[in-house]
Structure 1
Amino acid sequence: MATEYGHHTRPDFRGRGEGRRHLLPPALRAPVEARTWREFGYVLLSLPLSILMFVYAITMVSLGAGLLITFLGVPVLAAALAGCRGFGALERMRARGLLHLDVAEPQPVRPKKHGAMAWIGALLKSGTSWRSLLYAVLHFPWAVFAFSVAVTFWSLGWSLLTYPLWQWVFPMYAGQAGLQLYGSEDGVHTFYLDAPFEIGLTALVGLLITLATPWLIRALTMVDRVLVAGLLGASRLDARVVELESDRGVVVDTAAADLRRIERDLHDGAQARLVNLAMDLGLAKEKLQEDPQAAARMVDEAHGEVKTALQELRDLARGIHPAVLTDRGLDAALSALAARCSVPVEVEVDLPHRPAAAIEGIAYFTVSELLQNISKHARATRATVDVWQVEDRLMLQVIDDGAGGAGTSGGAGSGSGSGSGSGAGLAGLAERLDAVDGVLVVDSPAGGPTRVTAELPWRG
């Protein structure tokens, strides 16, 4: 959901154990951290797996392309793509376990009809299949490069760092003073690392390489992250489809909740009053001949009930869609809302022209919900409502000087979204805005003021 809530605890997306305090700075503890060893293991495994993927992809695609002159080429190509999708699933699992990279699963193959041919056709038309094939081809040269660089620096750094521990093997078993740095054929110009200063300097160079290697490996695995996320994850279109399906569910649930609210208000409000009114008029009709004065009193009481029922029906109709919004637009409708609020509200609407009716209605009910929260929970003395347009976005901002502490889970505090039960109201409001690609931002420090900003797409 594209919603931000200010001054509240945010989830910690850091790796396991990375939130603890350490005595050593990151540069010194990096070579022995679990993350470094996981990423190094990922690079080591990449080479054999990439060779397997590359050989499979090239062999199967070449065979399928060569057999396209016959019908056999089509199922062979489909098998190649299916195998690449399988390798892609393995790579996503490996990245999730070793790199802690959570990649969304792509859409599965969904043939429109049953049968092998329908499945083959859907597989060949799937963009995910071809992106998996592209990954199998591109990842091989990168895996060779990353493996060579990582293993070279890793082995060089640790071998030089530990050189003082194993330097003794040269004079004992190799017949030379130490590790030979360079030498000539005549043996005259030869340099061995055997003096204490030279051994210490070698270990220092090894320490520097060892400390730099984890950051080099992280840079290498960043490319792997990009390849896995870009080629093996869900495409933008797939992600958008999932998002729209979720938004459609929110819209359906919201519409059902509104219908239930309208039915409840009619049943408990105007309908009950009209039933009582019919009973009172029936009794007045019976008493009209016997006791005209009592009948007149009952008719007078029924007249009051009619007025009350009419007012409830007007309020209900205004809650469904106010006539003033349809006739005169947001400026007049929001001014009418402000007049009914329990605290003084200043309204300023600066729009070049009216937006689409759907966006106008969402904007109206957003402000209505926020002003109701101010009336019920804010303990504010004044509030302001500003509406303006920025490029292709409609901006709404409601500010009150209440006690602040607005949240999405209720609890203490006040303001435009705080207090008992209002947290759920803000969460529902955020879902409604998200269903039309809107954004809700709540900034409500303890002690106030509370600033709620809503952003909607402008549709003229």
Structure 2
Amino acid sequence: MRTTGGTTAEKPDAPSGETPGGAPAGAPGDASDDDRLPSPRLAFGSRTWQEIAHLLANLPVSIFGFVYVVTMVSTGSALAVTVVGLPLLAGGLLGARQLGKLERARARSLLGLRIDEPSPLPVRRTGFFGWLWSSLKDPVGWRTVLYDLIRLPWGVLTFTVTLTSLFVLWPVLPFIARGLTNVDRAMVRGLLSPSDELERRIAELESDRGVVVDTAAADLRRIERDLHDGAQARLVNLAMGLGLAKEKLLEGQADETVAAMVDEAHGEVKLALQELRDLARGIHPAVLTDRGLDAALSSVATRCTVPVKVTADLPSRPAAAIEGIAYFTVSELLQNVSKHSGARSASVDVWRTDQRLLIQVQDDGRGGARLDGGTGMAGLADRLGAVDGLFVIDSPPGGPTTVTAELPWRDRQDDPAH
């Protein structure tokens, strides 16, 4: 009932089967709209379409990978008795690594799967045969080969099921796609991701072992060169001079010439002894063995061309190997200060924090020091890295320069050498 202009009027009843608004029962305006079932043709989200695209791409990708690895393995194995077989197989494994990298990228973009890249092959400096051996026993390459071999039947299955579901099983296709791609994710995690931290650590240790071997070989060559060009040459000259002096004495020519020759030989002896002392100090200084790192660093600081303040806060002595690396690191850094920095002063601080030995060398020079600057910094970084150490340079143009080195601490009483 409604009132208009003071008159009361009756609203006609709605016909049977209609709503008060005149619409048929069940029409879009009916309040029961919210209770109706959605359309059976589902609206897929972007993730579902990405999974479908991944499953449809499985077939061409798996065919390519299968053909590649079968051709590579069969050809390399068949030619293994020749000179090109093993290098071909090694190159094929490197190519398999790249296929694995592409598969990981495809899984990241279409499946949202985030996994770390496996460790690269360790860099070896032992020439062709070192590279060949590292490549042939590469576990990442061989796992990728296995992945590509088992993917062909799986690629055929996923392509067929997904394509059929697009036309026949549309309502449940998202669930099918999710189930199939979960298997894909498991395959990628199991065969294309780093197996565990042990594999990464083994690769690092193999690389570090190569660095240690190369550094030791370089040190031996340096010692040989120093002996040949230094003390050995002086001792040869000394022997020749003394021989001539002896002949003149036997001839009765004991004059000022013989005295001068003997005096020159005496000078050569002193220089040869000094060079031998320096060489021995370069191998392992006696002061380091006898008195420890504090005294040895103070000694090396006196040979620097700028004043150096040394501060060592060590409650005990570390293992001899760690002590030696710390000494030679500081020695090399102070040589760089003398030769390249243009500094007026420098400082060396050594201390222990938990199970780490920290070294910091600072100077107020011109700065600009870099690992690739040709001043031996890269060699120091390699030497520290070989024992799980760290090496950090902070050297802006104009200075100052701060070099921080960190070494693992091992107690001296635990050192097998003591």
| Alignment TM-score, normalising by the size of structure 2 | 0.58
The offset of 1:331, in angstroms, is 0.1
Match status 1:103 vs 2:111: no
Equivalent position of 2:278 in the other structure: 315
> Does the CA-based 8 Å contact 1:39-1:99 persist in structure 2?
no
Equivalent position of 1:454 in the other structure: 405
- SS of structure 2 residue aligned to 1:340: coil
Q: Deviations for 1:264-301, whole angstroms, at most 9, x for unmatched residues?
A: 00000000000000000011111112233321221111
> Does the CA-based 8 Å contact 2:238-2:268 persist in structure 1?
yes
Matches within 5 A, 1:401-416: 401-410=364-373
Give the distance between the partners of 2:185 and 2:335, measured in 1 at CA: 47
> Does the CA-based 8 Å contact 1:247-1:435 persist in structure 2?
yes
The offset of 1:311, in angstroms, is 0.2
Correspondence for 1:94 among 94, 97, 103: 103
The offset of 1:231, in angstroms, is 6.1
Residues 1:362 and 1:225: Cα distance change in structure 2 (over 3 Å): farther
Give the distance between the partners of 2:366 and 2:49, measured in 1 at CA: 53
Equivalent position of 2:218 in the other structure: 257
Equivalent position of 1:234 in the other structure: 194
Give the letter aligned to residue 198 of structure 2. L
Residues 1:377 and 1:229: Cα distance change in structure 2 (over 3 Å): farther
Give the distance between the partners of 1:297 and 1:41, measured in 2 at CA: 97
Match status 1:445 vs 2:396: yes
What are structure 2's unaligned runs of at least 5 residues? 1-45, 60-95, 110-114, 122-141, 152-157, 167-180, 412-418
Give the letter aligned to residue 258 of structure 1. D
- SS of structure 2 residue aligned to 1:290: coil
> Does the CA-based 8 Å contact 1:96-1:102 persist in structure 2?
no
Equivalent position of 1:8 in the other structure: none
Matches within 5 A, 1:2-401: 43-47=51-55, 92-96=101-105, 99=108, 103-104=117-118, 228=188, 232-235=192-195, 236-288=197-249, 289-401=252-364
The offset of 1:238, in angstroms, is 1.1
What are structure 1's unaligned runs of at least 5 residues? 1-37, 52-86, 108-126, 137-142, 152-220, 411-420
Give the letter aligned to residue 118 of structure 2. A
Decide which structure has the larger Cα Rg and report it: 2
Give the distance between the partners of 2:298 and 2:370, measured in 1 at CA: 26
Residues 1:225 and 1:449: Cα distance change in structure 2 (over 3 Å): farther
> Does the CA-based 8 Å contact 1:379-1:402 persist in structure 2?
yes
Give the distance between the partners of 1:247 and 1:282, measured in 2 at CA: 50
Give the letter aligned to residue 332 of structure 1. A
Residues 1:89 and 1:246: Cα distance change in structure 2 (over 3 Å): closer
Give the distance between the partners of 1:39 and 1:304, measured in 2 at CA: 85
Give the distance between the partners of 1:242 and 1:402, measured in 2 at CA: 38
The percent of aligned pairs where both chains have the same amino acid is: 65
Residues 1:408 and 1:91: Cα distance change in structure 2 (over 3 Å): closer
Residues 1:226 and 1:272: Cα distance change in structure 2 (over 3 Å): farther
The offset of 1:47, in angstroms, is 4.1
Residues 1:351 and 1:304: Cα distance change in structure 2 (over 3 Å): same
- SS of structure 1 residue aligned to 2:410: coil
- SS of structure 1 residue aligned to 2:406: strand
> Does the CA-based 8 Å contact 2:388-2:407 persist in structure 1?
yes
The offset of 1:98, in angstroms, is 6.8
Give the letter aligned to residue 44 of structure 1. I
State the structure with bigger RCO (CA 8 A, min sep 6), 1 or 2. Answer: 1
Give the distance between the partners of 1:386 and 1:316, measured in 2 at CA: 26
> Does the CA-based 8 Å contact 2:344-2:364 persist in structure 1?
yes
Equivalent position of 2:64 in the other structure: none
Give the letter aligned to residue 96 of structure 1. A
Give the distance between the partners of 2:97 and 2:397, measured in 1 at CA: 48
Give the distance between the partners of 1:88 and 1:248, measured in 2 at CA: 23
Match status 1:426 vs 2:387: no
The offset of 1:49, in angstroms, is 7.7
Give the letter aligned to residue 313 of structure 1. L
Q: Deviations for 1:14-50, whole angstroms, at most 9, x for unmatched residues?
A: xxxxxxxxxxxxxxxxxxxxxxxx9998633444689
> Does the CA-based 8 Å contact 2:119-2:200 persist in structure 1?
no
Give the letter aligned to residue 293 of structure 1. E
Give the distance between the partners of 2:100 and 2:274, measured in 1 at CA: 64
The offset of 1:97, in angstroms, is 5.3
Give the distance between the partners of 2:299 and 2:236, measured in 1 at CA: 31
> Does the CA-based 8 Å contact 1:343-1:382 persist in structure 2?
yes
The offset of 1:233, in angstroms, is 1.9
Equivalent position of 1:27 in the other structure: none
- SS of structure 2 residue aligned to 1:354: coil
The offset of 1:89, in angstroms, is 9.1
> Does the CA-based 8 Å contact 2:223-2:279 persist in structure 1?
yes
- SS of structure 2 residue aligned to 1:335: helix
Residues 1:454 and 1:106: Cα distance change in structure 2 (over 3 Å): closer
Aligned structure 1 segments of 4 or more residues deviating by more than 6 angstroms: 38-41, 87-91, 224-227
> Does the CA-based 8 Å contact 1:335-1:347 persist in structure 2?
yes
Give the distance between the partners of 1:88 and 1:47, measured in 2 at CA: 22
- SS of structure 1 residue aligned to 2:302: helix
Q: Deviations for 1:309-352, whole angstroms, at most 9, x for unmatched residues?
A: 00000000000000100111000000000011100000000011
